[in-house]
Amino acid sequence: MILTVEDLNFFYRNREVLNDIAFSIGKSEIVAILGPNGVGKTTLLKCLNRILRPREGVVYLDGQDIFRLNGNEIARSIGYVPQRVETGKLTAFDAVLLGRKPHIGWELKEKDLKIVDAVFRQLSMDHLRLASIDEMSGGELQKVAIARALVQEPQILLLDEPTSNLDLKNQVGILTTIARVVREHDIAAVMTMHDLNHALRYADRFIFLKCGRIYAHGGPEVISPRTIEEVYGLPVIIGELGGVTCVVPVNPPAATDA
């Protein structure tokens, strides 16, 4: 297994956010972390990346406790894409090239430039090479962040709602690319997601969080009307459309003011 989580508990001060979280992920696997807002999905990703330190539990990366690794070792193994990406006076090319930092010694090599070039082509981003990231749309900035994680050549990708700022076409394009990279490079990915239909289409396994705990964990069989209603408080039906399994709300409630 690339990543193994054992008995992880996390608190913000005295408020319990995650309780007794345990799972593992192997090569060529995509795991979707699912659940309503505020359930701890982003916090879990940050614990896996050592941004946050759990009160209890262990996270093993390729058999090693991540809290015994240095920052450079983690950066060479884990590519992290947050929900919100910081901007600055960098071009997209330079921002993505920063992802090679854990691999660069005293000088930049031709190999590093070729890897960045390849990722720009993979994500259809050639037109953004010289664009300033502080002038980009949210969707363009999200693609830059994903590209930067990919050029790290990580063992595992951690993606926090990777399609949140993208239109439908780019959502499908990015998720298709992530799935292809995971399979072709024999790595793994953990993604927090809100769209159950995207999760069904691109993930291999699913973890439903409820009240900071794992409510259900497994393959497509765990995505059932009962599980979804228990976790989200919303009745749904699940069926096939054009050979694709879909989740459809039943009598969705009227929208309320935020």
Residues 207, 145: Cα–Cα separation, whole Å: 24
What DSSP letter does each residue of 171-234 carry, written as one string? HHHHHHHHHHHHHHTT-EEEEE-S-HHHHHHH-SEEEEEETTEEEEEESGGG--HHHHHHHHS-
Mean pLDDT of 122-137: 90
Q: Output DSSP code: residue 100.
A: G
| Contact status, residue 47 vs residue 8, Cβ threshold 8 Å | yes
Kindly report, residue by residue over 88-101, the tens digit of the pLDDT: 788 999 999 999 98
Q: Is the pLDDT of residue 257 over 60?
A: no
Half-sphere exposure of 208 (CA within 13 A, CB side): 22
Helix, strand and coil content of the chain, in percent to the nearest 5, comes to 40, 30, 35
Q: Is the pLDDT of residue 4 over 60?
A: yes
Question: Of 19, 13, 101, nearest to 57 (Cα)?
Answer: 19
Rg (CA), the chain: 19
Sole residue written with tokens 């063992």? 155
Q: How much is the pLDDT for 174?
A: 86
- C-alpha 23: how far from chain center: 16
Q: Is the pLDDT of residue 114 over 90?
A: yes
Number of other residues whose CB lies within 10 A of the CB of residue 126: 11
Kindly report, residue by residue over 30-57, the tens digit of the pLDDT: 999 999 999 999 999 999 999 999 999 9
Ordered domains of the chain (ranges, CATH)? 3-249 (3.40.50.300)
Residues 167, 58: Cα–Cα separation, whole Å: 37
What DSSP letter does each residue of 118-141 carry, written as one string? HHHHHTT-GGGTTSBGGG--HHHH
Q: How much is the pLDDT for 103?
A: 85
Mean pLDDT of 224-236: 95
**What's the CA angle centered on 47, arms 42 and 48, to 5 degrees?**
95
Both structure tokens of 55: 């009160």
Q: Exposed, middle or buried: residue 103 (CB in 10 Å: 0-12, 13-18, 19+)?
A: middle
Kindly report, residue by residue over 162-214, the tens digit of the pLDDT: 888 788 988 898 899 889 889 988 999 999 999 999 999 999 999 999 999 99
Mean pLDDT of 62-73: 90
Residues 120, 92: Cα–Cα separation, whole Å: 10
Q: Output DSSP code: residue 84.
A: S
Q: Is the pLDDT of residue 253 over 90?
A: no
Residue 218 main-chain phi, psi, to 5 deg: 165, -160
Both structure tokens of 230: 């228990």
Residues 69, 218: Cα–Cα separation, whole Å: 29
Average pLDDT across the chain, whole number: 90
Question: What is the separation, in whole angstroms, between the first and last Cα of the chain?
Answer: 41
